[in-house]
Amino acid sequence: MNIRSAFLASPKFELRIPGDTGTGESAFFRIAEDWRPALASAANFQPEVAFVFDPLSIPGEALQALPGIKVGVVTQPLTPGELSEALRRQRTGIGVLEWFTWFEEPPPEVRDLPLLSIVATSLDTRRLPSPPNLEQVAIAVPAWARPPGLSLDAELVASEESWPDCLEKLSRCGVMVYYSSEPLQLSMPLLPLALAHGLLLVSNQAFPPECGIEQEDEYLVRPVKDWARVVEKEQKGLGYFRAVRARAFQKARELFDASIVFRRLAVDATILKATCRTSPTRRQW
């Protein structure tokens, strides 16, 4: 099935968008502060399916003019005002989206919105290094995930939105330490990106089981006081955690490959709309 797909998103989502979906021609339209040029270019592209990241940032009347089946990609919790606006658009038919995808189980307030899928994250893995360099042992730590008093000599990653700098730093490292007061989530883009580079991820928190990332097999959960000992073992080159890094690299590319994720979504959006189903996973039989 050949499907012409458009992706409309701000540059910070660039690495989550596939260069090629494998189901036909596709194009990425970068949304800047002024969304109108991107929307006009996407309309000229005449997509059959249009994926709109954070769709409520674009007025409903403007979305109305975009051709094709429109899929809203929700990437973070909606405010009460945004929830009300999403429901209003569906009721009035202005700026209506045929489908929504969510990064987590959607709240009960939006049970009447058409749910296509839950997609925690995706990565354009074709743009990432392969195979991983398991000889790299330098440490990376995100500026927002650094625990107080951390004494490790680490490369500081300042922002997830500066992708060229972020990728360059990850390519020089082999370990990422990540401190959090909450369970880890795949919607934190740097985590799957680190796994897809073959870094050893060490955190004080675990991923929820539904994320599909397994402790000890693909990342390590350790108290902060043990991080230095873990890093020392890896940096001595004794091979303690090389298998963990290799499995993490494979798992991230199997689960998060953007071309696979959006190929499935484009096909589902097309064939399920034809059957007039309101939600493939929430239908009441």
Query: Domains in the chain, start-ordered, CATH in brackets?
Result: 5-122+258-274 (3.40.50), 125-256 (3.40.50.2000)
Average pLDDT over residues 10-26: 83
What is the percentage of the chain residues whose pLDDT exceeds 70? 93
**Greatest Cα pair distance in the chain:** 63
Q: List Cα–Cα distances, 261 to 172, 185, 256, in angstroms.
A: 28, 18, 7
Rounded Cα distance, 16 and 242, in Å: 26
Average pLDDT over residues 171-197: 92
The pLDDT of residue 277 is above 50: no
The pLDDT of residue 280 is above 60: no
At 3, which amino acid appears? I
Q: What is the pLDDT of residue 281?
A: 47
CA dihedral sign of residues 30, 58, 166, 28: negative
What is this structure's pTM? 0.84
Separate counts of helices (H) and strands (E) for the chain = 8, 11
Rounded Cα distance, 180 and 222, in Å: 12
Half-sphere exposure of 34 (CA within 13 A, CB side): 4
